[in-house]
Amino acid sequence: MTRPFHPFEALATQLLPHSSTSHNDGSHDQSHLQRVWKNVCAIQEKEGGDLRILLAATVLHDCVAVEKNSPLRSRASTLSAEQAQHILAKIGWSRQDCEAVGKVIQSHSFSANIRPVSLEARILQDADRLDAIGALGIARCFYTAGRMGSGLYDPCDPQAQHRPLDDKRYALDHFAAKLLKLAEGFQTKRGQEIARERHERMEQFVQDLLREL
């Protein structure tokens, strides 16, 4: 099994205490960061990019924890980007590298709706979104719904055929509202390839679930 955060274990160890993993959210814990890094490496191997910048951005991309239902949700990536730059400056990173990491983090979030400009920003956005789809995305969706107190689905209209989608109330609505749209927005060729596979798994899951209702 590949070592977590290889080949930057020392840097990851230095930065992990500043990440969001100390917060009580199993969808944004250290295992999430490890999976995002695995995705980063898979994409970077094909696309290129600065792995050191990407490691710092991966570990710190959610360093300011904002709940899904918070009014600050759309600013979460900007807040994390600012905090990450402070953290890296304190451990001696150059201003240029701090700013590079900040820009990568700022544009990773779906909620922020900020277009990634650099290659590293496109890679992190894809790597993070890959963890929101496929089998892992399904698991995280229902885990988060449980934390937020949402229901599994609307028993009267599970497919939202006669009502507006409401993914704050129903986990199943989150697939149509967001998750099944994510595969369309991937920025790198390798990210798009992996996303298509994971998207198909989600579509199959939704079909299977509806058959069992």
| 65-120 confidence digits (pLDDT tens) | 776 666 556 678 888 899 999 999 999 999 999 999 999 999 877 666 778 889 99
Indicate if the pLDDT at residue 1 is higher than 70. no
49: left (phi over 0), alpha (psi -120 to 50) or beta: left
Predicted pLDDT at 115: 85
Q: What is the mean pLDDT of the chain?
A: 90
* DSSP structure string for 178-212: TGGGGGGG--SHHHHHHHHHHHHHHHHHHHHHHHH
Predicted pLDDT at 30: 87
Indicate if the pLDDT at residue 26 is higher than 80. no
User: In the predicted model, what is the mean pLDDT of residues 29-33?
Assistant: 88
User: In the predicted model, what is the mean pLDDT of residues 9-13?
Assistant: 93
**Contacts from 96-101 at CB under 8 Å and sequence distance 24+?**
97/53, 100/50, 100/53, 101/53, 101/56, 101/57, 101/60
- CA 177 vs CA 94, 96, 174: distances in Å: 40, 38, 5
Point out the least confidently predicted range of 27-41, 46-60, 150-164.
27-41
The share of the chain scoring above pLDDT 70, in percent, equals: 90
pLDDT digits over 179-200, tens only? 999 999 899 999 999 999 999 9
pLDDT digits over 112-154, tens only? 677 888 999 999 999 999 999 999 999 999 999 998 899 999 9
Predicted pLDDT at 59: 95
Vertex 79 angle, CA 73 and 80, to 5°:
100
Q: pTM for the complete prediction?
A: 0.89
Residue 113, Cβ neighbours under 10 Å: how many?
A: 9
